[in-house]
Each structure stands twice: as structure tokens, then as C-alpha cells.
Amino acid sequence: MSTPFYVSPQQAMADRAEYARKGIARGRSLVVLQYADGIVFVGENPSRALHKFSEIYDRIGFAAAGKYNEYENLRIGGVRYADLRGYTYDRDDVTARGLANVYAQTLGTIFSSAGEKPYEVELVVAEVGAEPEGDQIYRLPHDGSIVDEHGSVAVGGNAEQISSFLDQRHRDGMSLAEALKLAVQALSRDTNGTEREIPAERLEVAVLDRTRPQQRKFKRIVGRQLVRLLGADDAAVAKTDDPSDEAAEE
Amino acid sequence: MEANTRSTGRLPAAFLTPGSSSFIDFLADHSPELLPGNRRLPEGIVEAPHGTTIVAATFPGGVVLAGDRRATMGNMIAQRDIEKVFPADEYSAVGIAGTAGLAVEMVKLFQLELEHFEKVEGATLSLEGKANRLSTMIRSNLGMAMQGLAVVPLFAGWDEGKEKGRIFSYDVTGGRSEEHGYAATGSGSIFARGSMKKLYRGDLTEQQATTLVVQALYDAADDDSATGGPDLARRIFPIVTVITDEGFRRLTEEESSELARSITERRLEQPDGPRAALL
């Protein structure tokens, strides 16, 4: 194979972007939604130990699609950044906006430096406020751009389709059970429009719950609580259009 | 540190380098000047406010950790409402006696160390692991301890593996020992320990255990001028915390004031407190 002497910057960037996008598209998509009491993260993940969602700081959560080792590296960098900042100044001085900026700079520098391969990741950084108006959700694509999102956001290979599905159906003030069911519905739709079923044990769900008495608002939803929220029987989940199971919410 | 992040806006290489799950190790590599143990020590003895008495007792189902509210500097009361008992994480707490400023800083770093590990690894340290980590931190403070800036904590928590409450005490060199039943540290600890020795039983309920530790603090304040008793006039009451399999809980001000009031009331009739049987 021969190496061309000159590649235009446009072409080089386009190639790198395509490379990153393809990498991200290999994994499953995930969604992040606002609901009445906070922000919920939902994704399909057969692993119990390797998480797509995690806690960064008191009110800040992290979600990532793409290459595990790369986003894990960024996640730990973010935890270090947040803990160091909170230790140097104060816990209130750690914000999602600050963290998203640092991630954007990091991803941007990696994306445009010729010596490094671009990261095949797409991140979401979310912070739950004391009131729903204070919630912040930032989406960070592989190239280091930063998008301020509201209501719902999807990242990963099938993100565009899922996003438009969610945009039509998501509304403010949904209960956790409603938001969760909507998210699962969105994730269950394949590119060709057919629906498949995602059993509860293949779902990874976490919330930033502003009503938690603890300072740390991040919580994983697993096991019985998850099944309860999805409605008693899994088979019904994919079909449920009108989730009215208020009592299921804890 | 922060400045590095700001210069390029990008996370510095150290942040993205795979390494240990310890925040202290990260600080030691990245900004060693932020670690208390790495500071240059001035000559001579430094005088600073000291926290005094911390007591702890186990009961079937958990452990209680409590502290008085006084900080002293020499013969002066430096602060009347200092807080010396802190949650370390969801299932453990630490109470501190010794130089207040350093102790509070050490607790902050210790809390962060446990939280950082939990976030990075996705799992919590064992109670033994937490106790050992605290030991290392005290050891790194030995230089300052030699100049009179000692920190001597008491660590208590719920051991999920062993399913019981446990107490660990420390000396200035970081020497760690597990205490069975009850323990105390700080200037009033001799009196508190004597008090608990007479009152402690293995089958206390949670409520009896909280009463026991407040009685012990009362006795410590009775004989040690550096320990503060309940201040009914200013409504300053001891901090009492309980750790069970449900996690850490601090008694509300209402609960601890009620406890302190009823004990003070009884002491009006019996100044030396409850009597133990002679034989």
C-alpha cells in the first residue's frame, strides 16, 4: 500500500471522524432522560461489572458509548479531576459544566492531533439540580464538540433514530417508571423499525435522584427494584405504550 | 494541579495514566504539596486548638461513636461547638482527638480516599482495609506529631463480612488496635473508659449504648477540664452517631438534647452517675 504525500486537512478530519463514528456504532446505544425527581441513565449492557454509567461526583453522573478502555480512561480522569477540585476548593465548585469543558478539550486535542488515533467514544455528562430547571445534560461526541441537551439524549450508533423517537414522546415531569419504560421502548427499536425485547437482566439503569437525602445522588437501580419499575412482567415492557404503573415507583 | 488543567484545558497526562485506585497515591504523584505529610515543618512547638474526648461502644447490631464539643488551647476554651465525629463513608465513622485543624483535614482526605476508591473500583473497601488506610495516614503525620501536632482518631464501623460493629483505636505512630466492647481517646479518655468499664455490658440495645457513651462523656467532662459537658444554656450537646447494617446515622439535635437532658437531670440527684454493684 502506498502512502499519499498530501492529504487535505478536510479529508484527514473526515477520515478520522468516520473512523471514530464507526467505532462508536459498533456498541449499543444508550439514553439519558430527565424525569420529575432527577435524571435516569438507561442502556443495554449484558455485563454486571463493566459499567457504562457511573458516578463522578455528588450530583454528577457519566455515561459513555464506544470503546470501553477509552471511556474508562476518561471516566477515571474525570473522577480524579472532580475529587482534586473538590479537595482544593469546595465540593460545590465541582460542576458538570467544568467537567464537560475538560472532557471537550481532552477529546478535541486527541481528535485533532496527528500523532494520536481519535477516541472512539461519545460521552454524556449530567448534573442533577435541586429543581428540574437546574438539571444539566451535556453530550460530547468524539471530536470534542459539546452539546447542551434538554429532556432526553441518546448516544451511540443508532443515536439519531432513538433521539427523534424520544423527542416526540418525552415530556417534562415524567415519573421514573414512565421515563424508564420510554427509554427501554426507544432502545428496543432496531434500525429497520422492528422491535425486540430487552430483558431486565440485560439492562443497566442508574439515576441521579435529587430526592436522595445523601450528598451523593447517584444510585444504581438493579434487581427487584428494576423489575418492579418496569412493571411486574418483562414481556409487557416492550409493548407498554401507556405506562400507568405509578405504584411501581419507589 | 489546577493550573495544569487550565493551561491547555485538557486533562493532564497524569489524570489519564492508568494507576492505583487511591486518591492519596494520585496526589502524591501529581501534586505532592497538597498532602499534609509532605509539608515542610517549622522549628519548635506550635500551639493550636486541640479536640478532646471521643468514645465508642459496640452493641449487638452495631456500634456507637460519640464526642464532646470542646476544643481547647492551653487552659483556654478555643471553641465550644466543634464537631469531632464525622461519617467516613456510609458504613463507618471517625472521631478525632488531637490538633483540631490537622485532624479535620485528615478526615476530609480520608473520606475522599474511601469515596475515590469506591468510584474508581465500583466496590467499597473492607472495614479492615479502611482501618489500615487510616493507619498509614496517621503514620505520615508523625513528624508533626513530634512537634505537638498529634492526631489520634477512633474509627468505628459496621463490618459487612463479619456482620458486627467494630472499633479501632490508634496511637500517634499509626499503630492500630482493635478494641472490644468500648474504647475512648483524647484527654478525657481515662475517665470515660473508667465510666464505661463499670457500665458496659455485651447485650446493650442501641438506645442503651447511646446512653452509655453520653454518660461516659459526662464523666470525662466531670474530671477533665479540657472536655466539655452538655451545655444546656447554649444548647450544645454531644454528637452521637450510630452505625448499623442500615448505615451511618447521626442522632438529631432533638434526640441528643433529650439524652443529655435526662442524664443531667439524673445527675442532679446522683452527681457521680449510676452505681455499679460492688460484687
Q: Is B173 labeled as catalytic in the residue annotation?
A: no
Q: Which of B52, B58, B72, B210 is catalytic?
A: B52
DSSP character for B100? H
* Averaged pLDDT for residues B174-181: 95
Residue B150, classed as helix, strand or coil, is coil
> Tens digits of per-residue pLDDT, A191-228?
777 888 899 999 999 999 999 998 999 999 999 999 99
Separation between Cα atoms, residue B189 and residue A95, nearest integer Å: 42
pLDDT given at position A237: 42
- Of the ranges B34-48, B131-145, B265-279, which one carries the lowest mean pLDDT score? B34-48
pLDDT grade for A57, boundaries at 50, 70 and 90? very high
**Is residue B195 scored above 70 in pLDDT?**
yes
Residue A223, classed as helix, strand or coil, is helix
Separation between Cα atoms, residue A37 and residue A27, nearest integer Å: 29
DSSP character for B276? P
Q: How many C-beta atoms lie closer than 10 Å to residue A167's C-beta?
A: 12
The answer to whether residue B134 is domain-embedded is yes
**Is residue B3 scored above 70 in pLDDT?**
no
Which H or E run includes B113?
helix B100-121
Task: Kindly list the distances between the CA atom of residue B102 and the CA atoms of A88, B73, B98, in Å, as whole numbers in the listed order.
Answer: 15, 14, 8
Domain count, chain B: 1
pLDDT given at position A236: 44
The answer to whether residue B236 is domain-embedded is yes
pLDDT given at position A244: 41
B2 CB near a chain A CB, below 8 Å? Answer: yes
Say if CB B106 and CB B278 are below 8 A apart.
no
- CATH code where residue B111 lies: 3.60.20.10
Per the CB < 8 Å rule, is B8 touching A105?
A: yes
- Of the ranges A170-174, B3-7, B9-13, B91-95, which one carries the lowest mean pLDDT score? B3-7
Sequence-separated (6 or more) residues with CB below 8 Å from residue B44: B147
Per the CB < 8 Å rule, is A87 touching B122?
A: no
> What residue spans define the domains of chain A?
9-231
User: Long-range pairs for B75-78 at CB < 8 Å and ≥24 separation?
Assistant: B75/B225, B77/B228, B78/B49, B78/B50
Give the residue numbers in A contacting B (CB under 8 Å), as ranges.
Answer: 49, 51, 54-56, 73-74, 76-81, 83-88, 101-103, 105-106, 108-109, 214, 216
Separation between Cα atoms, residue A122 and residue A116, nearest integer Å: 17
Separation between Cα atoms, residue A190 and residue A205, nearest integer Å: 20
Helices (H), A89-124: 96-112
- Of the ranges A55-69, A87-101, B20-34, B205-219, which one carries the lowest mean pLDDT score? B20-34
Instruction: Compute the Cα dihedral for B27, B30, B33, B34 and give only its sign.
Output: negative
**Is residue A234 scored above 60 in pLDDT?**
no
- Dihedral angle of Cα B95, B99, B105, B108, to the nearest 10 degrees: 0
Sequence-separated (6 or more) residues with CB below 8 Å from residue B144: B36, B39, B41, B99, B102, B150
Length of chain B equals: 279
**Interface list for B 22-41 with A (CB within 8 A):** 23, 26-27, 30-31, 34
Say if CB A177 and CB A229 are below 8 A apart.
yes
pLDDT given at position A194: 80
B3 CB near a chain A CB, below 8 Å? Answer: no
Partners of B26 on chain A (C-beta within 8 Å) are 80, 84
pLDDT grade for B51, boundaries at 50, 70 and 90? confident
**Is residue A249 scored above 60 in pLDDT?**
no
The answer to whether residue B33 is domain-embedded is no
Q: Domain spanning A9-231 has what CATH number?
A: 3.60.20.10
pLDDT given at position B71: 95
Indicate left, alpha or beta for A118 from its phi (over 0: left) and psi (-120 to 50: alpha).
beta
pLDDT given at position B2: 45
> Tens digits of per-residue pLDDT, A104-162?
999 999 998 888 899 999 999 999 999 999 999 999 999 999 999 999 999 998 899 99
Give me chain A's average pLDDT, please. Answer: 89
pLDDT grade for A186, boundaries at 50, 70 and 90? very high
> Tens digits of per-residue pLDDT, B245-270?
999 999 999 999 999 999 999 999 99
pLDDT given at position B42: 72
> Tens digits of per-residue pLDDT, B20-34?
899 999 998 888 888
Per the CB < 8 Å rule, is B15 touching A80?
A: yes
pLDDT given at position B143: 79
Separation between Cα atoms, residue B136 and residue A168, nearest integer Å: 55
Between residues B143 and A19, which one has the greater pLDDT? A19
Per the CB < 8 Å rule, is A87 touching B109?
A: yes
Partners of A83 on chain B (C-beta within 8 Å) are 23, 112, 115-116
Greatest CA separation for chain A: 66
The answer to whether residue B193 is domain-embedded is yes
The answer to whether residue B29 is domain-embedded is no
Q: Which domain holds residue B136?
A: 48-269
pLDDT given at position A22: 92
CB burial readout B113-152, b (16+ within 10 A) else e: bbbbbbbbeeebbebbebbebbbebbbbbeebbeeebbbb
* Averaged pLDDT for residues A35-58: 94
Separation between Cα atoms, residue A47 and residue B76, nearest integer Å: 59
Per the CB < 8 Å rule, is B30 touching A88?
A: no
